[in-house]
Amino acid sequence: MSALQYLLFTRLRNSLREFIRKPVRLVVLLVCVALIGFTIFAGNQASLEEGHTYRSATELYLIIAGVCVFMFASIMWNGVRKGATFFTMPDVLLLFPSPLNPKGVMFYGMIRSIGMYLAISLFYLMQYSTVHGVYGKGFPTLIVAMLLFVASTFLANFLSFQIYRKKIGGTREDYYEAVLSATEVSHSAVVAQKEGRTAEIIPQNIKLGSTGFTKGRGASAFYYKHKIENRRGRKLFLNMWSLMAIIGSLAFAFVITRVGEPPEDLRSVLVGVFTFATYLQLFSVAMGRLSFELTKPYVYLVPEEPFFKLLHCLREMIPTSVIDAVAVGAGLGIILGLDPLMTLLLVIARLSFAMVFTAANIAVARIWGGETSKVIVMLLYLAVIIVMLIPAVAAAIIFSTIIKLSFLTAGQTIMFFLAVLNIPVSLAVFYLCRKMLDHAELNNS
């Protein structure tokens, strides 16, 4: 066994041992397995209903392709600008000076990254109920979707790294320098999160503008602080993730209704288009400044009520969420030819999902504390979202198929219950986590 093979298998063995040493990880894994089992049961039950019809599989394939394109484009954008890497800082410090073949070291990093992306792609299994109950597809389709996700994210990292390397030169020394630079950025973010400091990557070009606080007192100072940080770190009002989510959602709606054989009734594809737009929204909301603020000590030290501090930390996301909801809702209304009531319900439903994703972020931070395992945190995040969506999704299915409302169409009924029930569920999570800023759970060991 070569040194790199031994290192790879040893890391895998140690990762498995972590589940025994940290039972909380095992609990989260069991919860995720239970949720996957629930989605399988729900999907099979839906397909057994008498008179059940399936939507076009082309809609599902376009959703899968759209997610892959979105991830590929976003990773390429970040990688070309800031550099991408397959390695951690211990890899750089121990493997690069060792007398090993550079191609073998590169291959080792590629294998590790594929394993990480494959673990993240497991969230596709939680979509079995939708894939099987709505589109009539099963595990083969989900497996293909997982492999496409892994391939697109891996290829984006690989290509962005090669482009970034050529930007600074093409020699072996330049190769190591590129890896070291990108790895330092990634490593500093991980260390910062462990030590309770900000995990945000500071932009290279900062617009200084005016300095100091002219507004804000007590807990409200965090809101104005976030406004200043957004103004200095962005060229536009929306961040890159939100812009890509909006563009990707509208582009997907245009392609599915205008390219190939468009459906006779454009409104028939509304559920699939909104589902895809919600997937993209999941990534844009997760990039808010709240997750960075929770890892800093300052928010815990301000002598204000914890709930007030939490609400003011959330204020920064309101304008972005409103603009995103109006842009996506109005755009889909125009492309799909929706009536004003349906367009309004789309906007409100989009806002409600922003609240759900934000509340899920807070719940994960409350439950998981200072844990930094990205895969486990992501799985827990998705599990919390699924649990929070159960009341709205159940009500939407019941009142659109079994107990039909005469004054609303099926599509309006679905969006109505998503909008109405997601908001109180999110507010309930905010209230349950109101004391999370009483004490800092920071891992600075």
- pLDDT digits 0-9 by tens, 223-257: 888 777 777 666 666 777 788 888 888 888 887 77
Mean pLDDT of the chain: 76
Query: How far is it, in rounded angstroms, from Cα 174 to Cα 192?
Result: 27
Q: How confident is the model at residue 198 (pLDDT cuts 50, 70, 90)?
A: very low
Contact 192, 155 (CB under 8 A): no
Whole-number pLDDT of residue 83: 61
- pLDDT digits 0-9 by tens, 52-95: 667 777 778 888 888 888 888 878 877 776 666 677 777 777 88
Q: How confident is the model at residue 266 (pLDDT cuts 50, 70, 90)?
A: low
Whole-number pLDDT of residue 196: 45
Please compute the mean of the pLDDT values over residues 342-358 and round it to a whole number.
Answer: 91
Please compute the mean of the pLDDT values over residues 205-232 and round it to a whole number.
Answer: 72
Go through 285-313 and write b for each residue having 16 or more CB atoms within 10 A of its CB, e for each that does not: bbebbbbbbbbbeebbebebebbbbbbbb
Place of tokens 């497991």: 122
Place of tokens 């462990």: 194
Lowest-confidence segment of 101-110, 373-382, 396-405 by average pLDDT: 373-382
Whole-number pLDDT of residue 327: 92
- pLDDT digits 0-9 by tens, 309-329: 888 888 888 888 898 899 999
- pLDDT digits 0-9 by tens, 396-421: 888 877 777 777 777 788 888 888 89
Query: How far is it, in rounded angstroms, from Cα 373 to Cα 193?
Result: 11
Rg from Cα positions in the chain: 23
Higher pLDDT, 349 or 272: 349
Please compute the mean of the pLDDT values over residues 14-35 and round it to a whole number.
Answer: 74
Residue 232 neighbours by CB distance under 10 Å: 15
In Å, how far are 51, 233, 404, 417, 428 from 408, measured between CA atoms?
22, 44, 8, 11, 27
Q: Mind giving me the DSSP string for 283-317? A: HHHTTSTHHHHTTSSHHHHSSS-HHHHHHHHHHTH
- pLDDT digits 0-9 by tens, 131-176: 877 778 888 888 898 889 888 988 887 887 777 767 666 566 666 6
Residue 122 neighbours by CB distance under 10 Å: 17
Q: How confident is the model at residue 199 (pLDDT cuts 50, 70, 90)?
A: very low
Please compute the mean of the pLDDT values over residues 360-389 and round it to a whole number.
Answer: 76
Residue 444 has pLDDT above 50, yes or no: no
DSSP 98: S
Please compute the mean of the pLDDT values over residues 348-370 and round it to a whole number.
Answer: 84
Query: How far is it, in rounded angstroms, from Cα 7 to Cα 94?
Result: 11
